[in-house]
Amino acid sequence: RRDRLRTLAQHPARTRDGVEIQLQANLELPEDVELAKLGGASGIGLYRTEFLYMNRPDLPDEEEHLANYRAILAQLDGRPITIRTLDLGLDKHSGAFATGGASNMSNPALGLRGIRLCLKEPELFTPQVRAILRSSALGPVRLMLPLVTSVHEVERTLALITHLKQQLDREGLDYDPQMPVGAMIEVPAAALTARAIARRVDFLSIGTNDLIQYTLAVDRLDESVNDLFDPLHPAILRLIRLTLEAGRALAIPVGMCGEMAGDPRFTRLLLGMGLREFSMHPGALLDVKEIVLGAELTELSRRVDHFFEQLDEADPARFVAELNAL
Ligand code: PEP
Ligand code: MG
C-alpha cells in the first residue's frame, strides 16, 4: 500500500471532475522539506518558525532568519512557501525572551502569544519581518500572522510592513513589493469577522488546532479533555464555513493548516465545503491525495450544502461516515 501511495506522489492532486487541489506541507524544522517533497507537496503552506527561538539563550537576528529562509527556498525548486511569523507563548518558548508561559501567565492560551506579543515587542518582530520581506526577492514567499483576533492587529502589522519596506528601499535591499500577507483564522472572533479581515489581507488560513481549542473551551494540550476536542462540532463547522464564505466574497484564497486538514476522514467534507488548499504534516499528504483523486466535487458540495441547511438536527459524525462511504 505504501508503494502504491508513493507512485501517487508525482500525480497532480486533481478531483474526478478535474479541479486541482493544493496539497501543501507544514514544516516545523528545515529538515522536513525532504519529506514534504517525497510526499509530492505543491508547496509549504505553514512554516512554523518558533524553532529558531527555542533552546538557546539569545534571539536570532535578521541575517540568521534570512539564511534559514534562503536555504529552504533553494530546496523548494520554485514551490511557494508561507512563512508564519513567530507564535511563541503557548507551548513554545524562547530562552532569550520572557514570554512567561505557564510560569507567570495565569492562562498562557489567553495571554501574550502570537501577533499580540509581536506587536508589543518590535525588537522581536522587526528582524523576522525584514528577513521575510528580503526572502521574497528570492522566491514565492507569503507572510502569515498567527492568532489574529481583530482587524486592528492586521492594520498595525500592515503599517509596520509598509514602514519596513521603506527602510529596505533606503538601504537598497531587495524584496517583492507584492509579497502576499495573510492572517490565520484560529480564534472564534477572527472567524466571525472573517470578512472584515479578508478585506485587509491577501489570503486566510484556518488553524483548526487553536480554533477548536478556543471555540470549545478545550485545552489542546490537556489529555484529560482530549475526547472533547471535536473537529465536527457544529460550531466549528459553522466557523470554517463562514471563513470560506468570506474568502469567496472578497475573492482571496482560503487554506487550512490545522491538523484537521491532514486527516483523511475529513477530506471529503472539507472539499464539499469549498476548501481547495490543504496544508498538513508531510506524512499525511499521500493519504489525503488518494481521497482527493476519488472525489466528485459537485456531488460533495450538493450533499454538504444540504447538510448545512439542517445542521441543528443533523449528526455530523454520521453525515461524514456517509460521505466517506459514497
Ligand atoms: C493551528 O492552530 O491550527 C495551527 C496550525 O497553528 P499551531 O498548531 O502552530 O498553533
Ligand atoms: Mg495555532
Note the maximum CA span of the chain. Answer: 60
Q: Is the pLDDT of residue 296 over 50?
A: yes
Quote the ligand 2 centre to 213 CA distance (angstroms).
Answer: 9
- Structure confidence at residue 225 (pLDDT): 96
- 257 catalytic? Reply is yes
Confidence of residue 99 (pLDDT cuts 50, 70, 90): low
Instruction: Tell me the pLDDT tens digit for each residue of 45-61.
Output: 999 999 999 888 899 99
Q: Which residues does residue 219 pair with via DSSP β-bridges, in sequence order?
A: none
Ligand 1 binding pocket, CB closer than 6 Å: 46, 48, 87, 186, 207-210, 257-258
Q: Which of 237, 257, 273, 288 is catalytic?
A: 257
Instruction: Tell me the pLDDT tens digit for each residue of 176-193.
Output: 999 999 999 999 999 999
Average pLDDT rounded to a whole number, residues 244-265: 98
- Structure confidence at residue 91 (pLDDT): 63
Quote the ligand 1 centre to 64 CA distance (angstroms).
Answer: 24
CB 93 within 8 A of CB 112: no
Q: Is the pLDDT of residue 197 over 90?
A: yes
In sequence order, what E strands does the chain have?
22-27, 44-48, 81-84, 141-145, 181-185, 203-206, 254-256, 277-280
Average pLDDT rounded to a whole number, residues 14-33: 97
Average pLDDT rounded to a whole number, residues 97-104: 55
**Which range (45-49, 86-90, 205-209, 291-295) has the least confidence?**
86-90
- Structure confidence at residue 264 (pLDDT): 98
In sequence order, what E strands does 199-262 have?
203-206, 254-256
Best mutation site among 82, 257, 270, 275 for ligand 1 pocket (most ligand atoms within 8 Å of CB) = 257
- Structure confidence at residue 103 (pLDDT): 55
Instruction: Tell me the pLDDT tens digit for each residue of 30-49.
Output: 999 999 999 999 999 999 99
- Structure confidence at residue 9 (pLDDT): 87
Q: Is the predicted ipTM greater than 0.95, yes or no?
A: yes
Confidence of residue 101 (pLDDT cuts 50, 70, 90): very low
Q: Which three cell numbers stand for residue 224?
A: 484529560
Q: Three-state DSSP class for 131?
A: helix
Q: Which residues does residue 90 pair with via DSSP β-bridges, in sequence order?
A: none
Q: Three-state DSSP class for 8?
A: helix
Average pLDDT rounded to a whole number, residues 271-298: 97
Q: With a threshold of 0.80, does the pTM exceed it?
A: yes
* Distance of alpha carbon 88 from alpha carbon 85, whole angstroms: 9
Share of the chain above pLDDT 90, in %: 89
- Structure confidence at residue 102 (pLDDT): 46
* Distance of alpha carbon 311 from alpha carbon 86, whole angstroms: 36
Cα-based distances in Å from 117 to 35, 68, 114, 158: 31, 22, 6, 16
CB 50 within 8 A of CB 86: yes
Confidence of residue 88 (pLDDT cuts 50, 70, 90): confident
Query: Has 4 been labeled as part of a binding site?
Result: no
